[in-house]
Structure 1
Amino acid sequence: MKTLFHELCAESAIGQVSQIRLNQLLALAAEENIPAAERDKGKTLFLAIDMQNDFMEHGELGVPGSHQDVLRAARFLYDHMEKITQVAVSLDTHQPQQIFHPSWWIDEAGQHPAPFTIITEEDVRSGKWRAVRHPEESLAYVSHLAQHSKKELCIWPYHCLEGSFGAALEGQFANMVYFHSVVRQSAPIRIVKGKDPLTEMYGIIKPEFGPGDEASHAFLESLRAYERIFIAGEAKSHCVLESLRQILDYFGEDKDMTSRIVVLADCMSSIPGFEASTEETFAAWQDAYEITVTRSTDYRW
């Protein structure tokens, strides 16, 4: 099995259409002789957050370093396939008309904001930026962010539009997810997030503001079944960070649960400009919640 990795995950093809056909891939998987996941005595989850084409280096919202992140995450999944019970993937999924995309807002001259523009409550109240649709709800949203000390509203480039290539799970990583699924006879878990037009949703559990978090409690409770929960994905500074924050907030002082979390730090990268604050937050969580932050090549079972 160890000789197959480069057939399943070609570094040069990361962020592009996969050249290996799924039926060819899964035929190779069917030849492996590894026990089914249901026989695992201690269950392990590999949680990959938003490893999608648009977050690859040449995607619409490319994260520098993401190609190597994918390569290392796929390698970890491949090398430890017999120990990883199940894989969960989250998929950021949007439409053009959402509160964090340019088309939602115009200025006094009728121009849409450029990507990475920050829109504050003061900007909306003063008329610097006006919501084209749902103006009252849009003001309530930026007000809520300010009141609860959350990230300010950032206008992102259009990304992960539903049904587009950019929204799809990155192809080389997807190869490894499906290879694992057939080898271990374990269906991957899919978490679709970000469809509500009136809120951002960085974390996989709930949006920044508004209804919709109740259904995710089932996923949170399902984490209790795993002795180890490995986390990888993009971007470390945003969707990975907020997903982990929501998980840690839910389990709170239950160190038995939070200490099961292993962050694969070399399988995720931050959006430029957010590196320092992100590292400070992860370091604080190591102390407060006893999570493990390590490199994929350094982890010892």
Structure 2
Amino acid sequence: MKTPFHDIFDEHRIGLPSVIGMNELSAKAAQEGLPFASDDSEKILFLAIDMQNDFMEKGELAVPGSHQDARNAAHFLYNHLDKITGIAVSLDTHQPQQIFHPIWWVDQEGNHPAPFTVITVEDVQSGKWRAVYHPEESLAYVTKLGEQSKKELCIWPYHCLEGTYGAALESQFGNMVFFHSMARKSTPLRIVKGKEPLSEMYGIIKPEVSRDGDAGNLALLRELKNYDRVLVVGEAKSHCVLESLRQILDFYESDADMTSRITVLSDCMSPIPGFEQSTEDAFAQLQEKYGITVTTSRALTFK
């Protein structure tokens, strides 16, 4: 590498706007002389889930540990630029008027729920919480969550609103993504998720409750098959990372060759507080059932 890590990734500006311009970054990348990603004999995808400003430690839905996760993920990319064939990034993307935001619901006094309030089907049936928008569909949604043994509806702080800084890819990690793109001639894959107003969407494949039998992002699922290894990082480990993995692994349940290609870099993700033990239990179950690898960015080696 000709470009020092800190010329690309400023550890003191995680979650803040980058001061390096893309044209300057491009000039540095051009000096690297790395082979085209298309020439890689082993195809490796680096899948970064929701590594966005609002999930950083000073964001609207801050995940403790996210700054170190971003550092670790960027260091890994930097150290293995010549090995990583492609990078895919998912972007949680919302509007204020969505079923998991406070504005959607009111109590009997007209007050909106505080962030992190859990709304159950009993709460809606009793009138404890009333949907301001689409009341019949809202009741059907919380009912369906219960029937499918999904997480109960949680009211989240407003976050990742489309067009805001919080919805953007974290700037320093983004620098490394685009540096890789320019140095390896590899276009990043962008996955926009979470725009359905009547459902949460933790996973990158489909909403928590799909309407009309929607099978989800089949194009992305097929794209994953083009890689020999898929490395997973992101936020939050307890929600969007976990559900993304479940959706991918459920789809490829009968394809052990595909599920065994997936590696989770556990030091590049953190859970939302209060979900630590349930998250570890869930990941252990995925390891046992599907044979995925869970390791750290420091421990993972390549041929």
Structure 1 length-normalised TM: 0.98
1:225 aligned counterpart, secondary structure: coil
Deviations 1:171-220, CA, capped at 9 Å, x for gaps: 00100010000111000000000001100000000001133844511110
**1:296 aligned onto 2:297:** yes
**1:65 aligned onto 2:28:** no
5 Å-filtered alignment, 1:108-123, equals: 108-123=108-123
Deviations 1:6-29, CA, capped at 9 Å, x for gaps: 111111100000111111111100
What is the aligned partner in structure 2 of residue 183 from structure 1?
A: 183
Measured in 2, the distance between the counterparts of 1:25 and 1:214 equals 39
**1:283 aligned onto 2:284:** yes
What is the aligned partner in structure 2 of residue 45 from structure 1?
A: 45
**1:236 aligned onto 2:237:** yes
The one-letter code sitting in structure 1 at the alignment partner of 2:249 is L
5 Å-filtered alignment, 1:22-171, equals: 22-171=22-171
What is the aligned partner in structure 2 of residue 261 from structure 1?
A: 262
Supply the RMSD in Å over aligned alpha carbons.
1.0
Measured in 1, the distance between the counterparts of 2:63 and 2:171 equals 16
What is the aligned partner in structure 2 of residue 204 from structure 1?
A: 204
Measured in 2, the distance between the counterparts of 1:47 and 1:263 equals 10
The one-letter code sitting in structure 1 at the alignment partner of 2:293 is T
Measured in 2, the distance between the counterparts of 1:211 and 1:30 equals 46
Aligned residues: 301
The one-letter code sitting in structure 2 at the alignment partner of 1:200 is E
**Unaligned residue ranges in structure 1 (runs of 5+):** none
The one-letter code sitting in structure 2 at the alignment partner of 1:140 is A
CA contact (8 A) 1:5 1:78 kept: yes
Measured in 1, the distance between the counterparts of 2:200 and 2:169 equals 20
The one-letter code sitting in structure 1 at the alignment partner of 2:231 is F
Measured in 2, the distance between the counterparts of 1:78 and 1:205 equals 28
Measured in 1, the distance between the counterparts of 2:82 and 2:134 equals 50
Per-residue deviation, 1:287: 1.4
Per-residue deviation, 1:41: 1.1
Measured in 2, the distance between the counterparts of 1:89 and 1:60 equals 20
Measured in 2, the distance between the counterparts of 1:22 and 1:253 equals 43
Per-residue deviation, 1:2: 6.0
Measured in 2, the distance between the counterparts of 1:300 and 1:42 equals 13
The one-letter code sitting in structure 2 at the alignment partner of 1:152 is E
Measured in 1, the distance between the counterparts of 2:29 and 2:282 equals 39
CA contact (8 A) 1:228 1:262 kept: yes
CA contact (8 A) 1:2 1:79 kept: no
CA contact (8 A) 1:253 1:289 kept: no
What is the aligned partner in structure 2 of residue 218 from structure 1?
A: 219
Deviations 1:240-264, CA, capped at 9 Å, x for gaps: 0000000000000311111100000
What is the aligned partner in structure 2 of residue 15 from structure 1?
A: 15
Structure 2 length-normalised TM: 0.98
CA contact (8 A) 2:249 2:290 kept: yes
CA contact (8 A) 1:49 1:91 kept: yes
Structure 1 residues 185 and 3, CA gap change in structure 2 (3 angstroms): closer
Mean CA deviation greater in 140-149 or 278-287: 278-287
Deviations 1:209-232, CA, capped at 9 Å, x for gaps: 133844511110111111110000
Deviant stretches of 4+, over 6 Å: none
**Unaligned residue ranges in structure 2 (runs of 5+):** none
